[in-house]
Structure 1
Amino acid sequence: METRWATVDGVHLQLPDDCTAAELRDELHKPDDATLIAVTGDLVSVVHDEDQPLTEMVAGCAETYYFRRPDEPQRNDVLGASEIDTALEDPSADETTFQRPGIGH
């Protein structure tokens, strides 16, 4: 099984290529209501399908992941993005991807 390095909530660790959001949550002892947010360059992805391997989504290319709980204080610009709340209210696919806040083209 292949592995890669990523940062999850500020900790740099190895992730198996085929890991899912649910497996990552379980291994890191995150609460069930925490949503996985992936940051890939200038894109942010909100993962809705907990059981699909991350490598089958844009989220699988991420260098940085965060677990975000409902109503938690804003930790950074990414987690404070209003697009996350919108994506959580009406998930229409396995993940919702949008432009990273603060990056303009």
Structure 2
Amino acid sequence: SMGSLLLTAGQKGCRYSLPNSRIMIHQPSGGFSGQATDIEIHAKEILSLKKRLNNMYVKHTGKAISVIQKSMERDNFMSASEAKSFGLVDKIIETRSEIADIKKTKK
């Protein structure tokens, strides 16, 4: 979802997940109604958005565009470890002490 894009586009090395997190990626969706011309306008916009989002995921995960397109064809739910392997997150925080360590290194 858009939350996964915000997570993935974060600063490399600072994209964290908790072990029980679920992260979902998918293509844009929407419902349109109205005249055919209006629906066509919306369809063009959503296809443009899909292309931009795919390119952002390519940039931040290092995956090929074909991998991103296939992965986002339908709702794709990932565990924290799957998201890390996919390149959406950098580290899975397992303990509270890891959070304290992160805070110390940021000072």
TM over 0.5: no
Greater RCO (Cα-Cα under 8 Å, separation 6 or more): 2
Report TM bin, short chain: under 0.3
Q: TM-score, length-normalised on structure 1?
A: 0.28
Q: TM-score, length-normalised on structure 2?
A: 0.27
Judging by fraction of residues, say which structure has more helix. 2
